[in-house]
Amino acid sequence: MTDSEPWPIAVPRSPLDDKLGVEITEQSAQRVSGRAPVDGNTQPYGLWHGGASAVLVETLGSLGAAAHAGPDRHAVGTELNVSHLRSVRSGWVHGVATAIHLGSTSAVYRIELTDDDGRLIASGRLSCRLLG
C-alpha cells in the first residue's frame, strides 16, 4: 500500500503510521496483518525501536477493532502491552493481530511481530473500547 492508496476500510490514517511506513495487507474484525520497514525505525544502536513495535501493535489491533466497531462507532485503545523478545537490524517487521474478544463495547487483540525469517520479535496485546 502506498500513501495514495486508501486503508482497506474508512479509518483515518495516522501521520505516525505514515512516518513508520506501515503497510496493511489484510484487514477484518478477526484478523489484521501488515508490516513496517526496519530502515528508518531504529534506535541509536541500529536495532528496530521498541516504540516502533508498540506503534505497529497498536495500529494493527486498532484497525481490527475499527472493523468490528463498524462505520457508526469508533475504537480507542485503552490498554497496550508489548514484550520485546528479539532484536532485528534490517528488512521488515511483519505483524498479525488476531481477535481474542469481540464484544459490544470492547475488543481485544493478540498481536505477534516477526522478522523476515518468521522469528518472533515481539508479542503484544491491545484492548479497545468501542464508542459511539
- Residue 58 designated active-site: yes
Segment 99-105 long-range contacts (CB within 8 Å, at least 24 positions apart): 99/29, 99/30, 99/31, 99/64, 99/68, 100/125, 102/29, 102/30, 102/68, 103/130, 104/130, 105/129, 105/130
Measured CA to CA, the distance from residue 65 to residue 70 in angstroms comes to 9
Say how far residue 51 (Cα) sits from the centre of its chain.
12
The residue from 5, 58, 79, 112 that is catalytic is 58
Measured CA to CA, the distance from residue 21 to residue 129 in angstroms comes to 26
Phi–psi pair at 79, nearest 5 degrees: -155, 135
- Residues that are catalytic: 58
